[in-house]
Amino acid sequence: MKTLYYSHPDFLFHETGAGHPECADRLRSIAIALEVPEFSSLIRVLAPLGTEQQIRLIHPLFHVEAILAAIPEQGEYYLDQDTVLSPGSKKAAFRAVGAVCDAVDKILSGKADNAFCAIRPPGHHAEPDLAMGFCLFNNVAIAAEYARRHYHLERIAIVDFDVHHGNGTQAAFYNQPNVLYASSHEMPNYPGTGYPTETGVGNIINVPLATGDTGAEFRKKYSNIILPALRKFKPDLLLVSAGFDAHKDDPLSSISLTEDDFKWITQELMCCADSYCEGRIISILEGGYNLNALAASVAVHVKTLLGL
Ligand SMILES: [Zn+2]
């Protein structure tokens, strides 16, 4: 498989302060894990800067301007108790958006089969007019809307296996039947949304996991609910909100997945993408806060995307 891997040193300069789980070391640990010869066939791409126009596909101008205006010249500025801005946040956030839109261009023009975007800040909690939960702009939602507008795709699916519900992605597409949003997430946990009764216009599928659930329950719920819905939807493009914080060693959840479970879900999603959209998958990093677990899980995920 031709697999693109997006990264950029600028992602390290979005600083969140000492002790914050969403830190630059997350990407450093991923980079180290992917440096070994096994990953020599990855096509490494430096994330380009995205544009304000791309961000505005999802976020209104007043909101974008308010976030940019709040970026401090030094130190940190807290948008809320979790969500931090630092002098490097603009470039990091714009490169995160640039990475996912460039991946859409490259995958839809057939230059590669699939892509993994090792980006930060993450995006799935960012609602159209509210930054929250470590997220400034909603990268995966922007990618979906960019693909819809520029390539006129009729059906885009977003599968979100981050342990937290992607309230921002759900909000962006709640009334949009052309975008399927399917999420598995621990309940109760942050942000508190994601009940199965939240169904949008039939395009939202929320599958809560219970505290203590393991790979067995995770696989069962995907096999019984999310994967059949995905097959019924027949996406033209599959986007993945790839958060690895459902790992058993993650400090922000009480779900106990292993690397093997992340391999399994990656294979299942690839199988579905092969059936309906020529294997087109763009996987976008969301959470994952134990550095060793994150690095090992991303390594397995990317290895699977490579077809190794
Ligand atoms: Zn998460």
pLDDT digits over 28-66, tens only?
999 999 999 999 999 999 999 999 999 999 999 999 999
Distance from the CA of 162 to the center of ligand 1, in angstroms?
5
Those residues with Cβ within 8 angstroms of residue 78's Cβ, 6 or more apart along the chain or in another chain: 84, 85
Q: Are 116 and 4 in contact (CB under 8 A)?
A: yes
* Catalytic residue from among 8, 59, 124, 125: 125
Q: How far is the CA of 110 from the centre of ligand 1 (A)?
A: 31
Amino acid making up residue 68: L
∠ CA 101-113-124 to the nearest 5 degrees? 40
With the CA atoms of 243, 263, 248 and 14 taken in that order, what torsion angle do they form, in degrees rounded to the nearest 10? -30
d(C-alpha 169, C-alpha 161), whole Å = 13
DSSP 196: T
pLDDT by residue (tens digit) across 190-249?
A: 999 999 999 999 999 999 999 999 999 999 999 999 999 999 999 999 999 999 999 999
Q: 203 near 176, Cβ under 8 Å? A: yes
Q: How far is the CA of 41 from the centre of ligand 1 (A)?
A: 29
- pTM of the predicted structure, to 2 decimals: 0.98
20 in active site: no
209 CA distance to ligand 1 centroid (A)? Answer: 13
CA of 208 to the centre of ligand 1 (A): 13
Token pair 């600028």 is at which residue? 10
Locate 128 and state its tokens: 């159209």
Contacts (Cβ under 8 Å, ≥6 apart) of 185:
160, 162, 163, 164, 165, 166, 194, 206, 207, 208, 209
Expressed in angstroms and rounded, the spacing between residue 52 Cα and the centre of ligand 1 is 25
